[in-house]
Structure 1
Amino acid sequence: DISAFASFTAEAAAAAPAAPAAPAAPAAAAPSPPPPPTPAPAAPAPAAAPAATVSSSGAPGGRGFASPRAKAIARDGGVDIALVSGTGPGGRVIAADVEAFIAAGGAGVSLPAGGASFANLPPFEEVNVKMVQKITAARLLESKTTVPHYYLSVEVSTDNLMKMRAMLNDSMANPKAKEPPPKVSVNDMVIKAASLALRDVPQMNASWHGDHIKQYSGVHMSIAVQTEHGLFVPVVRNSDKLGLKGISAAVKELAGKARDGKLQPSEYDGGTFTISNLGMYDIRQFSAIINPPQAGILAVGSSSKKVVPTKDGGFAESSTMIATLSADHRVVDGAVGALWLKAFKGYMEDPSTMLL
């Protein structure tokens, strides 16, 4: 028995016979001195009062609360590790504790994959996820976790924009026409202003590709369209070169196809920038997730009235909207993003420059 020689020394060998020393070794292995060699069988017993053990070892998830192996076994077994009593040093939960807890039944502690108990929730139904939703979810998760977003917001006066829109729509009105003529929307003018700003600040009309950045010569504007089939982003190609009437017609056609589920891949591929407009839902301000591999997306809120000071020292009512740019910091620095927003704001507040 190797343990019999645990206290062997040369001096002891010279002073006394080795044979009588052997019976003393089993006494050293007796359960009384700490640490006991076989503590595992006692693990199931403390399970009746896990709270006290947990509190002695710190908050769940803290350092030393559970070993990596114990966490893995608990995760695979669907067990809330916070309910397992630890027998390791300082109350640490070890693998044997979790295994014993599972073997003992562990009633009422199983968790769904999401990590939260559904025991107290009302009845529910599972809704199947459509393929377009899966693709959108994967792309947005990739964007939010790998693209370094930053956000810039600007308040834009829409007084002049609304006046020009009314003038343009009046000029296109034809009482004798069998069908009402198309009307230019605020969103059409936002698309035009953003497209021209991309032409003025081409660094924003780009995408990240690891060892290089692609800066595009053409502006292809992706427009977020929510449908019953999911979120689509059809592309208005060469939007910087289209007039407001052309943009309006293109958006109506593409949005109609998206809602009918008839968009072709070529009609939602190849965008260089995205616009998401929630103004029609009376959302004042929001930020959007970048549509990769693009470098930016503009989130447009609703227009509202406010009192503003005038040049002569008085006050007047003015309509404003808030636009928020989400940009990829790998492609454009904050100063470049600010320059782009300034250009966008300039076109929106002086819309006659869009027609030049």
Structure 2
Amino acid sequence: MLSAALRRRALAPTRCALRAGFTPHVVRYYASFPDHQVVKMPALSPTMQAGNIGAWQKKPGDSIAPGDVLVEIETDKAQMDFEFQEEGVIAKILKESGAKDVPIGSPIAVLVEEGTDLSAFEKFTLEDAGGDAKSAQPKEEKSESQPNEASAPEPSPEPEQYAPSEGKLQTALDREPNASPAAKRIAREKGISLDGVKGSGKGGKITEEDIKKLSSSPAVASPGATFEDIPISGMRKTIASRLQESVQKNPHFYVTSSISVSKLLKLRQALNSSAEGKYKLSVNDFLIKAMAAACKKVPMVNSSWRDGSIRQFNTVDVSVAVSTSSGLITPIVTGVDARGLESISTKVKELAKKARENKLKPEEYQGGTISISNMGMNNAVDHFTAVINPPQAAILAVGTTKKVAVPVESEDGTTGVEWDEQITVTGSFDHKVVDGAVGAEWIRELKKIIESPLDLLL
């Protein structure tokens, strides 16, 4: 069932695995239960410390084969499928759907070989699997306090009778409501507090029906309530943290320009008409290609701030902002400078589809050298500014297309007006990396390229 290398590591003592920094997703145990393996919460992104359990795709008794999706896991970046790489039968699920902030390495399920008696695992608990892993917490800084502590005399210990109890009182205060997983999930979705709810289940357990009755009752809403607290997903926490960090640590400056897209729109129409359904180019596809061309002209914009240096990239990997039901994510079109418009268009559509279905792999949204955020589909948005996606140094914000009256002079010297289709773009730049004149030069090159779109075909 296990490969030879994984079997050797899985059978090694736990302390050795910790010392080596290795956290296996599957560990074999021999105890009072039949031979079994504990499936642990995997690390699905480099920054992930804990995850939320989504929908289980397998239930106890189901067989699983390499490549099968075991469970959906919400990481700090996105919701992803945990594809299992072993074969066997699911004997027990230890973390139900809806479980929040499960630390990496915590047991989530039990796997056995075909033919194992599953009834032996009915009373198997999380503690039998070793309990939850400890969350990775930042170490408290003691460098400043240690010298003071060393010089001060040690205080006399408090008498034992005054020591706070860590027993029954603490357990009673911290105990979770006695509710079924389904009841907890529905209560969380509807914003219902389980405190004080009387359960109709065995031993007073709160059931799914109890919550449904509460949610349909007008008594659930407090009289005069004027707000609703919405639970924050792991993805929303990450978005908030990264953007706050970006605004605080990256001195933004902005350069705005109105750009004619009349020629670009005509070229787009001509190319799509001759494509015979093979592809359908969008304005965004042209803009992504134009950004790469501008980065080749002004490479400092295609850079990132690193401790002690500025890293300038040789290829242009464009992060494309995609709005999903769970938040904003920026999948990456790699090597845009070497791609044609058809390749860019195909890749953008593929990544956007995977993003909305929560199917992106980490390598498809981690990295990137520059970003684009396009609100052009909303005709109410003339222009806007975007927050830089760290550690990148620039992001382009694109507004909707507007018809603008432009004065023109004819050959006989008379003046008139022509209608020109224009977009307003705003570049946000990190002043640590990009000087004002450099950002302005990049916008000028971008404008020249977009207004002469045939150059993008060369």
TM range (shorter): 0.5 to 0.7
More strand by share: 2
Give the whole-Å Cα distance in 2 for the aligned partners of 1:210 and 1:200. Answer: 25
Give the whole-Å Cα distance in 1 for the aligned partners of 2:438 and 2:223. Answer: 50
Q: TM-score, normalised by structure 2?
A: 0.50
Matched residue, 2:391: 293
1:240 match: secondary structure: helix
Matched residue, 1:128: 231
Matched residue, 2:346: 249
Shift of 1:187: 0.6
Q: Is the 8 A contact 1:151 1:324 kept in 2?
A: yes
Give the whole-Å Cα distance in 1 for the aligned partners of 2:420 and 2:354. Answer: 36
AA of the residue aligned to 2:399:
G
Matched residue, 2:370: 273
AA of the residue aligned to 1:286:
F
- Which among 309, 315, 319 is matched to residue 407 of structure 2? 309
Q: TM-score, normalised by structure 1?
A: 0.64
Shift of 1:230: 1.1
Identity fraction in percent: 45
Instruction: Verify: 1:140 aligned to 2:243, yes or no.
Output: yes
Matched residue, 1:24: none
2:286 match: secondary structure: helix
Give the whole-Å Cα distance in 2 for the aligned partners of 1:346 and 1:297. Answer: 18
Q: Give the gaps of 5 or more residues in structure 1.
A: 1-118, 174-179
Return closer, same or farther for 1:195/1:311 CA change in 2, 3 Å cut-off. Answer: farther
Give the whole-Å Cα distance in 2 for the aligned partners of 1:288 and 1:227. Answer: 17
How many correspondences in the alignment? 232
Cα displacement string for residues 307-352 of structure 1 (whole angstroms, at most 9, x for unaligned residues): 1012423210111110000000010101100110011111110100
Shift of 1:215: 0.4
Give the whole-Å Cα distance in 2 for the aligned partners of 1:120 and 1:162. Answer: 55
**Structure 1 segment 137-216 matched on structure 2, within 5 A:** 137-173=240-276, 180-216=277-313
Matched residue, 1:219: 316
Matched residue, 2:420: 318
Give the whole-Å Cα distance in 1 for the aligned partners of 2:388 and 2:435. Answer: 15
Q: Which runs of 4+ in 1 moved over 2 A?
A: 119-125, 311-314
Matched residue, 1:240: 337
Q: Give the gaps of 5 or more residues in structure 2.
A: 1-221
1:153 match: secondary structure: strand
AA of the residue aligned to 1:296:
A
Give the whole-Å Cα distance in 1 for the aligned partners of 2:301 and 2:274. Answer: 34
- Which among 405, 430, 446 is matched to residue 328 of structure 1? 430
Give the whole-Å Cα distance in 2 for the aligned partners of 1:234 and 1:242. Answer: 16
Give the whole-Å Cα distance in 2 for the aligned partners of 1:237 and 1:307. Answer: 38
Give the whole-Å Cα distance in 1 for the aligned partners of 2:339 and 2:401. Answer: 25
Shift of 1:199: 1.2
Instruction: Verify: 1:231 aligned to 2:333, yes or no.
Output: no
Give the whole-Å Cα distance in 1 for the aligned partners of 2:409 and 2:284. Answer: 29
Return closer, same or farther for 1:136/1:352 CA change in 2, 3 Å cut-off. Answer: same
**Structure 1 segment 2-151 matched on structure 2, within 5 A:** 122-151=225-254
Give the whole-Å Cα distance in 1 for the aligned partners of 2:265 and 2:338. Answer: 22
Between the two structures, name the one with larger relative contact order (CA 8 Å, sep ≥ 6): 1
Cα displacement string for residues 89-145 of structure 1 (whole angstroms, at most 9, x for unaligned residues): xxxxxxxxxxxxxxxxxxxxxxxxxxxxxx998432221111111111100000001
